[in-house]
Amino acid sequence: MRQIALDAVRLWRGEPDSLRQVSASANHVFSFLASGQPLFLRLTSCRDRTLEQIEAELNFINYLHRGRVGVCLPVLSANGQGVETIQQGDVPLFACVFEEVEGECFTFGSNEANRQHFRLRGQTLGRIHALARDYAPVAGRRRFGWEEDDLFRNIGRYLPQSEEIVWAEYFRLMDWLCAYPQNRDRFGLIHGDFGPTNFRYRNGALTVFDFDDSCYHWYAYDLAVTIYPHGWRKEAKGLMEALFEGYTQEVGSVDHTRNELVQFCRLRQLYMFLNYAKRWGFKNISEQQRIWFAQKRDNIARGYLLAT
């Protein structure tokens, strides 16, 4: 993969000796320098995303930037392309490059500082969703719908029938979503993974990056993703209230979203279980992985709990 990354970096006139691998999961991400500027290369397999879907992602990011959302902008290659295709044997890999994001990672502090931060998260998501209501994708360049995600489309490949608790939750949530309204105010293009690993704080604002999970979904899911890990905290209710204070400043009243947030947190809980079921499988896994599955299985059985 390093040789492919080096080939890609040259397309952005990068300095080969500066190449460093940052992560390797669904995508392979590398940092490098080009004319002294820090940049990030992302390599995505055609098995995970189509060229058109990646181009749609970059188009949406640029659209949000024009709407005054702080985003990590894509950088054109020396050929003037946002996405370059590089062959790995018979499998095309799609390369794109992004600017470095400046700012701080979020860490919990005082109660007031935490509420202020979650208020800012809400404002940022509200701005993204307000803009998404009027977003029209370029012809032939469209992101996928949530139900087209491989984890849902091919769930049987990753989830054994013996996982009865998880299957029951899957069918319950799918039935619920089939009846859930899908109008302009509730449904559109979202970020899809709006957690602290995907934004940075600077000068009173958030800069958002990694739109690889961006898809057509209910806006409430973005809010659920960002509050979901904190439901156990004694201050969870206050964090949620702060989140909605910021959010409603941008999009107006969303009582329907507030009332259904726990259900979307359950959907996130299910999604994370399926994600690791695909990544790890259930055979030849470590004791730590077995414990993780057992804990999440128990959480799913109990339902998502939001401290009040």
Q: Residue 136 pLDDT > 70, yes or no?
A: yes
Phi, psi of 12 (to 5 degrees): -110, 15
Q: Parallel, antiparallel, or unpaired for β 187-190 and 215-218? A: antiparallel
What is the mean predicted confidence (pLDDT) over 61-86?
96
Residues 306 and 260 sit within 8 Å (Cβ to Cβ): no
User: 100 in helix, strand or coil?
Assistant: coil
Instruction: Flag whether the pTM goes above 0.85.
Output: yes
So where are the chain's domains?
Answer: 2-99, 111-302
Q: Which residue has the higher pLDDT, 90 or 238?
A: 238
What is the mean predicted confidence (pLDDT) over 89-112?
92
Show Cβ contacts of residue 192 under 8 Å, excluding neighbours closer than 6 positions.
211, 212, 213, 214, 215, 217, 221, 222, 225
pLDDT confidence of residue 5: 93
Q: Residue 307 pLDDT > 70, yes or no?
A: no
Average predicted confidence (pLDDT) for the chain: 94
Q: Residue 308 pLDDT > 60, yes or no?
A: no
- The percentage of residues in the chain with a pLDDT greater than 90, rounded to a whole number, is 86
pLDDT confidence of residue 87: 86
Closest CA to 307 of 224, 236, 228, 225: 236
Of 3.40.50.970, 3.90.1200.10, 3.40.50.800, 3.40.605.10, which CATH number belongs to 111-302? 3.90.1200.10
Class of domain 2-99: alpha beta
Burial of 252 (0-12, 13-18, 19+ CB in 10 A): exposed
Residues 209 and 71 sit within 8 Å (Cβ to Cβ): yes
